Amino acid sequence: MATASRVLWKGAISFGLVHIPVGLHTASTEQGINFDWLDKRTMDPVGYKRINKKTGKEIDAANIVKGIEYEDGRYVILSADEIESSFPQTTQTIEIQRFVNAGDIPFVYLERPYYVAPINKGQKVYALLRETLVSTGKVGLAKVVIQTKQHLAVLVPSGPVLVLNLLRWGDEVKGYDDLDLPPLGTKEARLTPNELKMARQLVEEMTGTWDPQDFKDEFRQEIMQLVDKKVKAGATETVIQPAEAASGGAEIIDLSELLARSLKGRAGTDTKTKAAAKPTAPAKSSVAAKPTPRKPGVSAKRAA
């Protein structure tokens, strides 16, 4: 029987005045090989120490501060309180900033995927958003805070599930202007019709369907086969791990009720704003009156 996926984060998708209660589930897993360091004389695990790079001596954690180098060899020191005060406010909300065409986001910006599943009777409105994205060919650009880090993300429909894929920020993706690339276009790149014909033929012959099970990490397979062979031969070592203090898991807060209250409060605020903007005695004119500008705080939410 399959084990149920653990919810990593609970909150809501928010766009306009719509809130969809959802939970995040991991959509990927690391399957690489982890080599532990061991002392070959005693088979004790080898850890890491905090070493002063100048003296070579180990120092206590209490004597370590965090600094950012702003010039060669010159640092600004930030206290734990200063760093903590800079953390983004946790809102438990996947706040959609705008909708864009699905093909507008280059794949180099994609970083880590999460499955988004509805909770607390959010099935219908979840389906409404999913089907709307599919029919319009759009995806949602959003901001979300996970733990203490703010992320840019894109909400993408994939079959029955919505996938929240974390994105790299714009200044994290390097440009390619300094690369020596051939010009775009067949004529500009000086490609002959015969070369193009043979290349297309080769592509067609190698074309198949996408099946991730067709591709395996060969290095991992070889290592695990070697490990299995050594285990069966009894060529193993016993390593006693030092006892570590148990750490408490992060608390997951269900904010559905708070989100519902916030939705009612925002709806009331929007009604009052419209009532205040309505003119008491409209002037008769052949030119339509311009709408009252909305407050920056309201429009900023929809603008990216």
What is the residue type of 19? H
- The answer to whether position 75 is within a domain reads no
The pLDDT score that the predictor gives to residue 62 is 87
pTM of the model: 0.62
CA atoms within 13 A on the CB side of 81: 0
The Cα–Cα gap between 49 and 83 comes to 24
Contact status, residue 99 vs residue 138, Cβ threshold 8 Å: yes
The Cα–Cα gap between 119 and 122 comes to 5
Q: Are strands 149-158 and 138-146 parallel, antiparallel or unpaired?
A: antiparallel
DSSP 142-207: EEEEETTEEEEEEEEEETTEEEEEEE--GGGS---TTS--PPSSTTTTT--HHHHHHHHHHHHHT-
How far is it between the farthest Cα atoms of the chain? 96
pLDDT, tens digit (0-9, with 9 covering 90-100), for 221-230: 888 888 888 8
- The answer to whether position 51 is within a domain reads no
- The answer to whether position 284 is within a domain reads no
The pLDDT score that the predictor gives to residue 272 is 53
- The answer to whether position 269 is within a domain reads no
The pLDDT score that the predictor gives to residue 209 is 92
Mean pLDDT of 26-32: 74
Mean pLDDT of 62-77: 86
pLDDT, tens digit (0-9, with 9 covering 90-100), for 237-274: 777 777 655 444 444 434 455 445 555 665 555 555 55
pLDDT higher for 91 or 256? 91
Share of the chain above pLDDT 90, in %: 32
Q: Identify the CA nearest to 289 among candidates 299, 298, 279, 297.
A: 279
- pLDDT category at 42 given cuts 50, 70, 90 is confident
Alpha-carbon separation of residue 243 from 45, 75, 172 (angstroms): 12, 37, 39
- pLDDT category at 28 given cuts 50, 70, 90 is confident
Inform me whether the pLDDT recorded for 159 exceeds 90.
Answer: yes
Inform me whether the pLDDT recorded for 200 exceeds 70.
Answer: yes
CATH number of the domain that 157 lies in? 2.40.290.10
Share of the chain above pLDDT 70, in %: 76
Q: Phi first, then psi: what are they for 158, rounded to 5°?
A: -140, 95
CA atoms within 13 A on the CB side of 80: 5
- pLDDT category at 193 given cuts 50, 70, 90 is very high
Range of the domain at 16: 9-31+85-172
The pLDDT score that the predictor gives to residue 282 is 41
- The answer to whether position 221 is within a domain reads no
Q: How many domains does the chain have?
A: 1
- The answer to whether position 289 is within a domain reads no
The Cα–Cα gap between 115 and 140 comes to 14
- Per the DSSP assignment, residues forming a β-bridge with 20 are 13
- The answer to whether position 285 is within a domain reads no
- The answer to whether position 239 is within a domain reads no
- pLDDT category at 294 given cuts 50, 70, 90 is very low
